[in-house]
C-alpha cells in the first residue's frame, strides 16, 4: 500500500504524476526543477520569444530547486534532514558543476545523503538542473489527498472523546502501615498472676469409740465337769 502527495506550494507537475509517493517508511520524490508555482518563469533563466535559453544563472536555479524539494518533503510528512539519497541532473556539467557543488555543500552541511550527479542533454523545460530524491518518513504520516477524498462527513465529525470509552477511576485503597524495624518496641506488661483457689478443708472425722467387750466368764467346774468340754458363757 502507498500514498501519494502533492504540495500546494511547489511547482505543478508537467505530467500525470504526484510530487511524492510513500511506500512503507520511504518517500520517493518525482523529478523537481527550479520553476515557481503558478508561473512559467524560471528563476535565473532568460528566454527569447521562441522559448530558447538566452542566459541563465545556475546559482539561482540551485537555490530555487532546493527550496522546492523542501516544500514537497514537508507536505509529505518528511523533512530536509531525512533525505537519504539525491540524484542530480545537470545540462552543462563542465560549466555548472563547480558552482552547483559549492551551493550544495551549504544546504547539506548537516545532513549528508548519498548523491549521484549526471549530465544530460536537456530537460523537459528550459532548466539547467533537476533533482530526484528519496527520504525517510516519520512514524506518523500525514493524510494524503486520496485519504482525504475517501473520508465521509460522519468520520470527520467524529471526535476523539466519542471514540474513547469513559474511564472509571479506581477506588481508593488505604495504604498499608509500614512498621519501622528500627523503631523501639515497648515490651508488653507481665500478665497478672492467676489465682488458684485453695481446696476446701476436709472436715476432721472422729473415730468411732472402741467398745471393749468383757472377757467371757467360765463357770466354776466341778471335778465331774472336768471331762466335759468347756463352753464359754456370754
Of residues 173 and 47, the one with the higher pLDDT is 47
Of residues 228 and 76, the one with the higher pLDDT is 76
Query: How many domains, the chain?
Result: 1
Of residues 202 and 30, the one with the higher pLDDT is 30
Contact 25, 141 (CB under 8 A): no
Of residues 126 and 234, the one with the higher pLDDT is 126
> What does DSSP say about strands 26-29 and 45-47: parallel, antiparallel, or unpaired?
unpaired
Decide if 47 is inside a domain. yes
Residue 17 predicted with pLDDT over 60 = yes
Decide if 179 is inside a domain. no
CA-to-CA separations, 151 to 139, 148, 156, 159, in angstroms, rounded: 21, 5, 7, 14
Residue 31 predicted with pLDDT over 90 = yes
36 lies in which domain range? 2-146
Residue 162 predicted with pLDDT over 60 = no
Percent above pLDDT 70 for the chain: 58
Decide if 28 is inside a domain. yes
pLDDT-derived band at 94, boundaries 50, 70, 90: very high
Residue 152 predicted with pLDDT over 50 = no
Give me the pLDDT at residue 90, please: 97
Decide if 74 is inside a domain. yes
Q: Domain holding 64: CATH number?
A: 3.30.1330.40
Please report the DSSP string for 45-64 in residue order.
EEE-TTS-EEEE-HHHHHHH
What string of H, E and C letters represents the secondary structure of 81-112? Answer: HHEEEEEEEECCHHHHHHHHHHHHHHHCCCCC
Give me the pLDDT at residue 68, please: 96
Decide if 189 is inside a domain. no
List, as own/partner pairs, every contact residues 216-224 make where C-beta atoms lie below 8 angstroms and the sequence separation is at least 24, other chains included: none
The string of pLDDT tens digits covering residues 103-123 is 999 999 999 999 999 999 999
- H-helix or E-strand spanning residue 77: none
Give me the pLDDT at residue 216, please: 59
Give me the pLDDT at residue 200, please: 65
Among 61-65, 135-139, 167-171, 183-187, the least confident range: 183-187
Decide if 123 is inside a domain. yes
The pTM is what? 0.58
pLDDT-derived band at 144, boundaries 50, 70, 90: low
Highest mean pLDDT (candidates 1-5, 11-15, 161-165, 220-224)? 11-15
Decide if 41 is inside a domain. yes
Which of these, 31, 21, 115, 100, lies nearest to 63 by C-alpha position? 100
Decide if 126 is inside a domain. yes
Amino acid at each position: 500500500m502507498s500514498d501519494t502527495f502533492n504540495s500546494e506550494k511547489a511547482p505543478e507537475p508537467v505530467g500525470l504524476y504526484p510530487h511524492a509517493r510513500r511506500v512503507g517508511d520511504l518517500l520517493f520524490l518525482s523529478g523537481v526543477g527550479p520553476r515557481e508555482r503558478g508561473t512559467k518563469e524560471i528563476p535565473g533563466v532568460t528566454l527569447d520569444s521562441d522559448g530558447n535559453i538566452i542566459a541563465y544563472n545556475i546559482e539561482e536555479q540551485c537555490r530555487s530547486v532546493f527550496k522546492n524539494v523542501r516544500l514537497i518533503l514537508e507536505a509529505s510528512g518528511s523533512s530536509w534532514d531525512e533525505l537519504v539519497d539525491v540524484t542530480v541532473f545537470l545540462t552543462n556539467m563542465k560549466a555548472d558543476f563547480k558552482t552547483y557543488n559549492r551551493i550544495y555543500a551549504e544546504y547539506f552541511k548537516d545532513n549528508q545523503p548519498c548523491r549521484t550527479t549526471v549530465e544530460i542533454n536537456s530537460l523537459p523545460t528550459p532548466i539547467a538542473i533537476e533533482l530526484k530524491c528519496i527520504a525517510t518518513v516519520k512514524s506518523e504520516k500525514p493524510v494524503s489527498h486520496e485519504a482525504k477524498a475517501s473520508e465521509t462527513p460522519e468520520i470527520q465529525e467524529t471526535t476523539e472523546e466519542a471514540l474513547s470509552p469513559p474511564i472509571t477511576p479506581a477506588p481508593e485503597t488505604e495504604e498499608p502501615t509500614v512498621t519501622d524495624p528500627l523503631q523501639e518496641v515497648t515490651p508488653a506488661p507481665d500478665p497478672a498472676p492467676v489465682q488458684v483457689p485453695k481446696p476446701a478443708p476436709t472436715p476432721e472425722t472422729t473415730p468411732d469409740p472402741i467398745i471393749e467387750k468383757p472377757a467371757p466368764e467360765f463357770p466354776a467346774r466341778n471335778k465331774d465337769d472336768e471331762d466335759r468340754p468347756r463352753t464359754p458363757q456370754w
